[in-house]
């Protein structure tokens, strides 16, 4: 039996303390968690990407004004006030970091993963992006140029990943499950089914 991570134990203790003192109801916490799992999170970003892959006009609007195009699909809110979208191509691979803290486009990616907030990722991906990406399992050819985008409190970045070959026949709805949070940060590629 594996040990539970310290963060899980802390979260459970905090939840118990808040509910015992009557500061929050369990149902309210459940609604918040469900909201982040279904309404705020990587699924939203995957819907944005799938639409861009399926609709060339939407793709153009997304690259021209990410915030407005994302709002068209109903995704907006705190940490999503100004989102710039950059597109990965066979020649250019974009990756996102926040070197100061962990600025992140919550409405389309949900809560940032722990590695995104880690000081090692935040400093190393700027200095040696190819090495960091390889350590995370993404090997890029030497002729692919890597561009690192630094998110700030004023601008959040979202990567429009390359559409995998062999998915041309898939519908927008079928594309959504293929898109991962990591691909939208630029530390992975979307894999064909």
Q: Tell me which residues are annotated as active site.
A: 98, 101-103
Encode burial over 16-39: b for 16+ CB neighbours within 10 A, e otherwise.
Answer: eeeeeeeeeeeeeeeeeeeeeeee
| Residue that the structure tokens 């995370």 belong to | 136
Phi, psi of 26 (to 5 degrees): -55, -40
Nearest to 90 by CA among 148, 157, 161: 161
H/E stretch holding 92: strand 92-97
Strand partners, 156: 83
Distance of alpha carbon 37 from alpha carbon 191, whole angstroms:
22
Three-class DSSP category at 104? coil
């Amino acid at each position: 039996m594996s040990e539970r991570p310290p963060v899980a134990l802390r979260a459970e203790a905090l939840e118990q303390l808040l509910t015992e003192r009557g500061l929050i109801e369990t149902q309210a916490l459940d609604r918040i968690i469900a909201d982040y799992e279904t309404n705020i999170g990587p699924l939203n970003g995957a819907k944005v990407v799938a639409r861009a892959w399926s609709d060339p006009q939407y793709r153009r609007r997304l690259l021209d004004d990410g915030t407005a195009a994302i709002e068209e699909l109903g995704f907006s809110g705190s940490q999503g006030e100004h989102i710039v979208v950059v597109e990965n191509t066979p020649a250019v691979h974009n990756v996102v970091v926040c070197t100061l803290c962990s600025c992140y486009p919550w409405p389309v990616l949900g809560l940032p993963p722990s590695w995104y907030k880690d000081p090692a990722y935040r400093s190393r991906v700027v200095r040696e992006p190819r090495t960091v990406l390889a350590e995370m399992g993404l090997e890029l050819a030497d002729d692919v140029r890597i561009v690192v985008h630094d998110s700030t409190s004023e601008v959040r970045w979202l990567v429009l990943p390359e559409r995998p070959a062999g998915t041309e026949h898939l519908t927008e709805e079928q594309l959504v499950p293929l898109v991962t949070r990591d691909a939208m940060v630029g530390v992975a590629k979307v894999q064909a089914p």
